[in-house]
Structure 1
Amino acid sequence: MASILIVDDEEPIRHLLRSILEGEGHQVLEASDGREGLTLYRNTPTDLVITDIMMPDRDGMEVTLELTREFLDAKVIAMTGALGNQNFLNVARLFGARHVLQKPFGVEEICRLVHLTLAE
């Protein structure tokens, strides 16, 4: 299937996404912050990046913007748990995220978005 990079500072979220995505047959890489995520992607580009927006040391907005500027074909899904603030997700779209996701999310929702984004 596809190679997917998960960038999130919360280990439980990375573990959950890894479990879901590997269950779907995908190969998964993980990064615990934006700086590590950008380095991993530059060294080993993946088919898709799923990044949290709110992280220390290079947030998901910076990750999304740098990836989509440096790699025109980069596919990014941005997600946030910041409740009640749709602005984060709207800005992520402006920065190049193909899709956005509000935490908490369901298994079916993440699988649908991953499938949709990979098909684009």
Structure 2
Amino acid sequence: MKHRILVVDDEEQIRSMLTQMLEQEGYEVHTAENGEQGMDLVCRHAFDLVITDMIMPVKDGLKFIMELVRDYPDLKILAISGGGAIKAERYLTMAGYLGDIATLEKPFKRETLLDMVREQLDKV
């Protein structure tokens, strides 16, 4: 059975790149442009992992992750951010305080992302 992954990022280019990388590895990928759309999808579909950007309009990654942790505590989450080195680091640090959240700063290498995805999906 394929793992289902939700990619949430306001940048179309990032969503497309992540989708392509993950689909090449055999994952089923769905996408959303912000945390509000992402939450709507999570409420309607079962996902094994959510990869979310931190800095987005409408509902940012922190609010989205807080809702996910509260409502879906077993859902695996990988937070990504590249909003400037200091800003990205702060957002990712805050995400890590919300629970067992993996974090990755943009830009990242394909293999680094895929290793983190596998690591998150292998968690019991």
**If the length of structure 1 is used for normalisation, what is the TM-score?**
0.96
2:43 equivalent to 1:42: yes
Q: In structure 1, give the amino acid aligned to 2:81.
A: T
Contact 1:51 1:76 in 2 (8 A): yes
Q: Give the AA of the match of 2:73.
A: L
Which structure 1 residue ranges, 5 or more long, are not aligned? none
Name the SS for the 1:22 alignment partner. Answer: helix
Partner Cα separation in structure 2 for residue 66 and residue 4 of structure 1: 17
Q: CA deviation at 1:83?
A: 2.4
1:99 — aligned with what? 102
SS across alignment from 1:72:
coil
- Cα deviation for residue 82 of structure 1 reads 1.9
Deviation per CA, 1:10-32, whole angstroms, max 9, x where unpaired?
A: 00000000000000000000001
Distance (whole Å) between structure 2 residues aligned to residue 55 and residue 110 of structure 1: 20
Which aligned pairs between 1:1-120 and structure 2 lie closer than 5 A? Answer: 1-85=2-86, 86-96=89-99, 98-120=101-123
Q: How much identity, in percent, do the aligned residues show?
A: 38
Q: TM-score, normalised by structure 2?
A: 0.93
Distance 1:33 1:95, change over 3 A: same
Query: 5+ residue gaps in structure 2?
Result: none
Task: Find runs of 4+ consecutive structure 1 residues off by over 4 angstroms.
Answer: none
Q: Report the Cα offset of residue 97 of structure 1.
A: 5.2
Count of equivalent residues: 120
